[in-house]
């Protein structure tokens, strides 16, 4: 299965309320996540999460849809096609 490198950005409003739902989705796709960074904005009760993933288009779309269905979560992504011989599964 062809996998691309994708950078996913999440803006989570009311992060204290929505963090458990977001974490559940991220855990289900954890094998595809290469890196994760989170920046809280306590004064605005929101946070930004950035993910770098190696995933097929279908996996990425499914994850985006699941995250996008959570109230208060906005999702944006950028995908980079990568030749299949660059990354190898361990």
At residue 85 the predicted structure's pLDDT band, cuts being 50, 70 and 90, is low
At residue 31 the predicted structure's pLDDT band, cuts being 50, 70 and 90, is very high
Domain covering 4-80: architecture:
2-Layer Sandwich (3.30)
Q: Has this prediction a pTM greater than 0.85?
A: no
Whether residue 88 is predicted with pLDDT greater than 60 in this model: the reply is: no
> How many beta carbons lie within 10 A of that of residue 10, not counting itself?
24
User: Where do we find the tokens 């989705």?
Assistant: 25
The pLDDT score that the predictor gives to residue 41 is 80
């Amino acid at each position: 299965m062809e996998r691309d490198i994708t950078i996913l950005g999440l803006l989570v409003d009311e992060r204290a309320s929505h963090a458990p739902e977001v974490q559940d989705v991220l855990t289900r796709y954890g094998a595809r996540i290469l890196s994760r960074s989170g920046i809280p904005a306590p004064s605005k009760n929101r946070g930004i999460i950035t993910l770098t993933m190696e995933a097929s288009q279908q996996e990425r779309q499914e994850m985006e849809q699941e995250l996008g269905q959570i109230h208060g979560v906005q999702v944006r992504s950028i995908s980079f096609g990568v030749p299949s011989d660059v990354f190898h599964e361990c």
